[in-house]
Structures are given as C-alpha cells and as structure tokens.
Amino acid sequence: MIRFEPLEGPFGCAAHGVDLAAGLDDDGFLTLSRALYRHRLLVLKGQTCGKDAYLRFGRQWGVPIQHVVDTARMPGYPDLLEVGNVTRRWQMYSRNTAAFWHTDQSYEADVATATMLYAQKVPDMGGETRILDMKAAYDDLDQETRERIDGMVAVHYYGATSGRDGELSTQQLTEAQAATVPPVSHPLVREHSVTGERALYAVGGTAYGIAGMPNDDADALLRSLKAHCVQDRYVYAHKYEVGDIAIWDTQMTMHCAAPMNDPDGPGTERLLWRISVRGLPEAYARRRAAA
C-alpha cells in the first residue's frame, strides 16, 4: 500500500511503501505518476534496490537520456550518472557542475520529462537539491506579463548562463560534445505533454536569447523571469536520507544543487545516481491499448 504525505515546503510529496527491489506493476506506477504530475516532486523513501532495478524503474517513466558529457556516464551503465563529490576517474570534474538553476536537457530539442536522483551517500550537512515549482511561478505572473510572453520562443545552449548571480559555472563541453548539442529553441511558456498545464520553461541555465528580440532586451527579460521564479516561496530544498529517490517533473521545475566541498572524513560524502528520461511512460500506452 503506497502512502503519500506532503513534504515540508511549498510543493511535493513523499511516498512510503514502495519497494523498487521487488518491482512496480502498472497500477503502482500509475499511482506514482499521478502523484508526480499533480505535485511535480515525489520522494520515494527507503529504497534498497541496485542499479538494474533502479534502471528498470527509470525506464518505466520514459527513455533514459545518455548525458552529453559522455565521460560522466557510469561505466557499464551509460544511462546512469554518478552525481556528488566522491572522486572517481569518470566524474572528477562533476562535483559542482549542477550548482546553478537549470532544467535538465533543456539544451536538447526533445526535452526531458522526468529526472530522478537516488541517494547512496549523504553528508551530515548540506548536499540538498533545491527544486522550484515553475507552474506556481507562472500562475503568479500578472496578466500583462503572461500576455506579453505568450508565444515567445527562447534559445538555449548547454550551460549558457550558468555562473551568473553567485551561482557556479557548469563544465565546459569539449568540441566533440558541443557538436552534438547545437542551440535549440523552446517556447518560453510550455504546455506539459501529459497534463497540458502551462508553466515557464527553463528560464535559467540554458536560455540566452529570445527569437526576434534584441540581445539586451532578451537578457533583461530572462533575468527578470528567473529572479521571479527563484523566490523562496516557490522553492523546496530536499535534504536526502540514504535510500531516497527524488523524482521531479522536469517540464514544470528547475533545480539547483547545493555546492559541495571535496569529502573530508566521515559524513562529508555525497553520492547520488541520476537518471533523466524523455517521452511518456509505457504504461500509458498499455492502458490506452487496453481501453
């Protein structure tokens, strides 16, 4: 029996009673997906599964995305990334590459629909992921602003505006990596592919221009929208416990990792396994076919 309870913040919920090691049938999955699309953030508590079961769960949400920084993919599991400050050969540059407000894969044409982080090691202090509700931020815009930005198209590039406003910069892509992710366009206000709800999309991190607008004006607009979004009233900061899997609706949120130092003794290591997916859950197609 899955039991939900609100998280201590403006949005999101925790789910108890899910055991991914045992697998999740369509009914269980659909219960979770309804919760995610309603609350935009879902934290599964107390998971003990290994990489294979975690990946099976990730694939229930969509098609895993192999990250453009190919050196950060986990050996043997290219659909997984190891995120954190635990020094490994393949992630030596990744300690703080997500410490800026962003939306995963907004620099690609086919956007991510869900991202999940599975906590393996958590520090005693810090190490939170901050997640913000872009639908609530959009809903609070005044009517004049909503009408002005409706129909605008933003241009995105990997990490284009990371490193601003006291945030950290993400990793520079190599020439070969950059060649795989040329600039792409997305509506500034996107409709959710499942719910049809509208929200601001990825105004931080990758958006660096607005189609047909002078650069200075576009920059000012994007900065003001981001400043509106990152207000505390839209932000939940998740402090992980080992075994948490935090899943967020990537179409309706931005997130930002808390900067971490290198580990320095017990209680200072942070290690999470990340999966991002695109597309819709297969269970939806199965349910439609059976209807």
Q: For binding to Fe ion (CB under 5 A), which residues are involved?
A: 98, 104
What's the closest the beta carbon of residue 98 comes to Fe ion, in angstroms? Answer: 4
Least separation, in Å, of the C-beta of 75 and Fe ion? 21
Nearest Cα to Cα of residue 67 among 37, 93, 36: 93
Measured from the CB atom, is 35 or 81 closer to Fe ion?
A: 81
In the numeric block, the tokens 């907004």 are attached to 106
Estimate to the nearest angstrom the gap between the alpha carbon of 73 and the chain centroid.
Answer: 17
Largest Cα span, the chain: 55
Q: How far is the CB of 162 from Fe ion (least distance, A)?
A: 11
Which of 87, 107, 77 lies closest to 182, judged by CA? 107
Nearer to Fe ion, 57 or 100 (CB): 100
Is 164 exposed, middle or buried (CB count within 10 Å of its CB: 0-12, 13-18, 19+)? Answer: middle
Give least dist CB 193 to Fe ion, A: 19
Indicate the residue among 222 and 246 with the shorter CB distance to Fe ion: 246
Q: Which residues contact 114 (CB under 8 A, 6 or more apart)?
A: 36, 61, 62, 247, 248, 249, 250, 276, 277
Distance (Å, whole) CA 141 – CA 278: 28
Nearer to Fe ion, 221 or 235 (CB): 235
Comparing CB distances to Fe ion, the nearer of 28 and 62 is: 62
Residue placing its CB nearer to Fe ion in the complex, 29 or 91: 91
Local structure of 211: helix, strand or coil: coil
User: Quick one: 104 or 249, whose CB is closer to Fe ion?
Assistant: 104
Q: CA-CA-CA-CA torsion for 130, 276, 250, 165, nearest 10 degrees?
A: 40
CA 68 → CA 64, 107, 172, distances in Å?
Answer: 12, 10, 11
Pairwise CA distance, residues 216 & 286, whole Å:
48
Nearer to Fe ion, 72 or 98 (CB): 98
Which residues are CB-contacts of 24 (< 8 A; sequence separation ≥ 6)?
Answer: 18, 32, 57, 60
**114: nearest Cα among 282, 277, 266:** 277
CB of 276 to Fe ion, least distance (A): 8
Residue 244 CB, nearest approach to Fe ion (Å): 16
Helix and strand counts by DSSP (H, E) for the chain: 7, 17
Least distance to Fe ion from the beta carbon of 135, Å? 18
Least distance (Å) between residue 21 CB and Fe ion = 26
